[in-house]
A and B are shown apart, each in its own frame.
Chain A
């Protein structure tokens, strides 16, 4: 019971870092980016290649994965995504599905279709026993790391100048622009940051969730659940939604394995029917 809760929280924390960038970019530009998972996968593969072929220590891989995907995100945003902000949602969906497919085939080409198995670094291997319960050290690390990150993001969003500009732009893009806030620049930076965080989480998650070329599609639905259930106006919303999803997913698979993903999909549809703006979101006026 407790162990399941613990596993669920670890997965939820990871999902939060994976999806938070998507939530902010969606709230900011009303842009539906189904290719977000591709950045997470890229981060994961960067870490795998560095560790396996160049012997880079795990803890150094994390920042490298973050930087690589953040830069990739920034480049793609400036060259391609920027052309799509004023297009219809259909075109955004088509475009980002296209990018996802390309990323998946590329990953398959270079890395092969089989899942990559990464061992947790030696210092974090094994379990910690508390009483007669065993907790994986690595998952404890993931929870603490992501909690610190979430706290940091929340602080940055509420206390820094960039954060308040970002919030202003999310609340009302036109008024924010009128007040002299460079929304395009803020968006580019947020996009890069969000992609970087996804890449970081991809690397961080590689020892606990399997990394293979279908990762972007497999986790797309999870990201979208986090974003649509959590709402796009805060980051506490996606945070709570991620935890809920992580716990529900692990518990569902453990207690009622025959129903599988059924529970979370049904929950998501139910939430969206009763609160289309998400459980924790405010209705956005546009």
Chain B
């Protein structure tokens, strides 16, 4: 009948979405390696933990930057909010189960960051790129000032002390070698990564890419542009909050440093280094960034910033698409936009 061709189109569209969302073997290998690395290099567990947290934070930025095209200089605000939420919660529970439970901490941090993300999304989604930059930066600075001023709650410049999370799932205690921490962070990263993967390959994710490509045309074909952008901004805020919570729980402290500007800038670098809008770019970028940092700062601790700047400049001028783009070109795969 008349709906047969439509039905065929629909099937084709779903087949396309399914094909896009199929797991490929390098992905499985990467995750297997991520988990195995903790067992293989137990002495590097703390480093792996840091990489996982950075990767989750970068992933949250990639969601808004790579899939929705929102350039933010203040994503660190949500990271900080999450870190303080989890930190305060763990402190209030004093290491005992109900309040200091890490999973509860993650959920609470994600929820708080999401609420703030939703509230601020109305402010961020106005105006052009420059206005967005300024508003996101402004919001981050406001949070930094708040954390600084309410030092009786946040511990101010001294940081929040006495953050003692309970056992993970009531089973695994955090050890000083960071093995539990690394497993915990990598697992959380993996679960949230899978969720993000489903989201970006869903029709919702495709509509976001349409908005990034051309917001005007996306609106014309019936995509509710503002609602979609608010949704992804809120989601990304929640992700960043969870990343902050992981940092607070696994390092057992929160300092004002979580809200510093350099955190937002570093994360931008990680996403660009790894490849914008690829999800895996965030993970690969975080690992590359952290290893580069360790390598360079073992030679020149103080002037690491210079090399960081140089990397940024070279990346923008010569390396398009970051590490993931490079891999795609080397393996001869066309970039799927």
Contact = CB atoms under 8 A, between A and B. Distances in A.
Given A93-B73, A95-B317, A266-B138, 4 more contacts: A89-B129, A98-B316, A260-B145, A276-B131
Given A84-B316, A94-B316, A95-B316, A217 B261 contact: yes
Interface stretch (A57-65, A103-111, A186-194): A103-111
A104 B123 CA distance: 32
28 contacts: A32-B133, A84-B316, A90-B272, A93-B73, A93-B133, A94-B272, A94-B312, A94-B316, A95-B313, A97-B265, A97-B268, A98-B309, A99-B309, A99-B313, A101-B309, A102-B306, A102-B309, A102-B310, A102-B313, A108-B303, A109-B303, A228-B131, A265-B145, A272-B123, A272-B127, A272-B138, A273-B123, A273-B126
B34 interface: no
A258 B149 contact: yes
Interface residues of B, number: 42
B268 A94 contact: yes
A80 interface: yes
Interface in B236-273: 261, 265, 268-269, 272
Contacts of B272: 90-91, 94
A172 to B, nearest CB: 17
A83 B130 CA distance: 20
B277 to A, nearest CB: 11
Interface in A199-221: 217, 221
B274 to A, nearest CB: 13
A26 B145 contact: no
B104 interface: no
Contacts of A80: 313, 317
A260 B148 contact: yes
Contacts of A106: 306
A97 B131 contact: no
Nearest to B264: A97
B139 interface: yes
B149 A259 contact: yes
B116 interface: no
A261 interface: yes
A112 B135 CA distance: 33
Sort A-B residue pairs by CB-CB distance and give the 3 closest, nearest first.
A98-B312, A101-B309, A276-B127
Nearest to B305: A105
Contacts of B137: 221, 224
Contacts of B276: 90
Contact of A259 (B123, B145, B268, B304): B145
Nearest to B265: A97
Given A105-B303, A108-B303, A228 B312 contact: no
B11 to A, nearest CB: 36
B280 to A, nearest CB: 19
B273 to A, nearest CB: 10
A225 interface: yes
A100 interface: yes
A269 B128 CA distance: 14
Interface in A164-198: none
A262 interface: yes
B134 to A, nearest CB: 5
B138 A91 contact: no
A271 to B, nearest CB: 10
A276 B126 contact: yes
Interface string A251-286: 000000011111001101100110011000000000
B127 A261 contact: no
Interface in A12-33: 26, 32
Contacts of A266: 138, 142
A87 interface: yes
A51 to B, nearest CB: 26
A263 to B, nearest CB: 9
Contacts of B313: 80, 95, 98-99, 102
Given A98-B310, A101-B312, A228 B134 contact: yes
